[in-house]
Amino acid sequence: MFASKVGAILAAAGSAVGLGNVWRFPTETGTNGGAAFILIYVFFMLLLAMPIMVAEFAIGRHGGSTVFQAFEKMSGGRRGWRWMGLLPVISGFLVLSYYAVVAGWTLYYAFEALMDGFAGKTAEDFTADFGAFSSDSLLPVFWTAVILAMTCGIVALGVRRGIERGSKLMMPLLFVFILVLVVCSLTLPNASLGLKFLFYPDFSCVTGSVILSAMGQAFFSLSVGLGCLCTYACYFRKDVDLMKDGISVATIDTLVALLSGLIIFPAVYSIPGLQPDAGPSLVFVTLPNVFQQVFGSIPLLAYFFSLIFYLLLVMAALTSSISMLEMVTAYFHANFRLPRPLAAILVTVVCMVLANFCSWSFGDWADVKLFDMTIFDFFDFLVAKFFMPIGGFLMCIFLGWVVDERVLRAEMTNNGTLRSPLYPTYRFIIRYLAPLGILLIFANELGWFRFLK
Ligand code: PFF
């Protein structure tokens, strides 16, 4: 699949960088109190998500063809481990179903930008517009269907080469646009209040749920814990330096998230009536405001800047949704011998049905609750705060305790051809630190052993 070493990094980075950075990160930071949450998130990124990302690479590349077979092949006859192959299947359906809703919103905003729909609007207009759009029972569903169809088309037709090439241009361009927006956002009135929210930690508001959210965000942002990256790593070449790639992808991913925070929060404090804890609408209300406030006096600039920015965001969302669909499609293709296009279409249809329910959570079905959460929130909770940490934990146990140590060493050093000074530290993290950390957070959450309220 990936002809070059660079293709491997691009695919993993394409999966990692997406709405998780630009939409979910500011949303979670806003609802979890700001700076303290960010510090904990970065800590988990280093200690948990990044090492587990490298673990997924190692399992995928060594195991070959599918996640099912990878676990079976590497488990040394302990056949129970092959059930880990179901993780990407179940969670793939869940994550794509609600991610596609937000990706659909993004596509709609790109369309609005194309039609010059933001011109002359005020902050109240943007808030009202988003509320009306997201609670509509048809419009967001339509845009979600378009995104799912695009994702399905790319996975079914296998035009991933184009995506690989596109990513090479798209990623740096997105980065430049984000940087420009950061500078713009910092010039808005009251920007310093946003900076305070981002950089002055108040540890008194750190609770068990904040810690669980920070861990969930680290996993979600890097796409780890579900076997998604195992699926990609099956196609990695033998000369890819897994550790180096993992560090590069995690660094890019964290930077994009932090920079998104630097766009959103200074702007939030400059818009009357907007609160950092507004939830999923935060980014969709704030961004068009930034475009209007900063470039409003030069309408042509506002038009092109917002259009290109939303298109880049749609691309970033697509490279992530492709990785979600790929992990489920690969399973049905390999295990049931379904042709890839058929497998991709079947999965997409199921996701579309589930996505309807998620989308209606913002309108007609707002009162339908599962464990006190809307369907959308419940899917997000299941993926980021349940499946991902548990999957990550099991991968650490598998690679740290079940798999022959020589296999791990061979993967980290490319069969002894690479020097890997970080290997001993890495093995220590995978064997002890990461699984223990995840266990402690869950123990606290479930009340088995409370160290935080
Ligand atoms: N990491 C992606 C993002 O930040 O947008 C989301 C994601 C992709 C989550 C793939 C899970 C996954 F398997």
Burial of residue 111 (CB within 10 Å: 0-12, 13-18, 19+) is: middle
Residue-wise pLDDT for 37-54, tens only, equals 999 999 999 999 999 999
For residue range 196-242, what is the model confidence (pLDDT) as tens digits?
A: 999 999 999 899 999 999 999 999 999 999 999 998 888 888 899 99
Task: Name the nearest CA neighbour of 54 among 409, 340, 401.
Answer: 409
Under 8 Å between Cβ of 379 and 216: no
Strands (E) across 130-242 are located at none
- 146-186 tens-digit pLDDT: 999 999 998 888 756 666 666 777 888 888 999 999 999 99
Burial status of residue 385 (CB atoms within 10 A of its CB: 0-12, 13-18, 19 or more): buried
- Select from 74, 69, 51, 70 the least CA-distant residue to 60: 70
Please check the confidence at residue 2 and state whether its pLDDT lies above 80.
no
Tokens 């309220």 sit on residue: 453
Nearest CA to ligand 1 atom 10: 223
Q: What is the CATH number of domain 5-452?
A: 1.10.4160
Look at residue 336 and give its three-state secondary structure. coil
Q: What angle do CA 366, 102, 176 make, to 5 degrees?
A: 145
The DSSP bridge partners found for residue 373 are 370
16 lines ligand 1 (CB under 6 A): yes
CA atoms within 13 A on the CB side of 116: 8
Contact 321 CB / ligand 1 (< 6 Å): no
Q: What is the mean pLDDT of the chain?
A: 92
Among 94, 324, 381, 387, the mutation site with the greatest number of ligand 1 atoms within 8 A of its Cβ is: 324
Mean pLDDT of 415-431: 94
Instruction: Pick from 219, 221, 347, 382 the residue to mutate for probing ligand 1's pocket: most ligand atoms within 8 Å of its CB.
Output: 221
| Average of per-residue pLDDT across 10-36 | 94
Distance from the alpha carbon of residue 382 to the mean position of ligand 1, in angstroms: 14
Q: Which of 14, 60, 88 is nearest to 312 (CA)?
A: 14
Ligand 1 within 6 A of CB of 95: yes
Task: Tell me the percentage of the chain whose pLDDT exceeds 70.
Answer: 97
Structure tokens at 86: 């179901």
**Residues of the chain by 3-state class (helix, strand, coil), percent to 5:** 80, 0, 20
DSSP letters for 353-380: HHHHHHHHTTTTTTT--BTTB-HHHHHH
pLDDT in tens, 261-292: 999 999 999 888 889 999 999 999 999 988 88
Give the mean pLDDT of 314-323: 93
The mean pLDDT value for 375-388 works out to: 96
294-312 pLDDT, tens per residue? Answer: 887 888 988 998 999 999 9
- Asked whether the CA dihedral 281, 287, 290, 292 is positive or negative, the reply is negative
Question: In sequence order, which residues have a C-beta less than 8 Å from that of residue 196 and are 6 or more positions away?
Answer: none
With a pLDDT cut of 90, the percent of the chain lying above it is 73
What confidence category does residue 6 fall into, taking pLDDT thresholds of 50, 70 and 90?
confident
What whole-number distance in Å separates Cα of residue 436 and Cα of residue 154? 39
Q: Is the CB of 59 under 6 A from ligand 1?
A: no
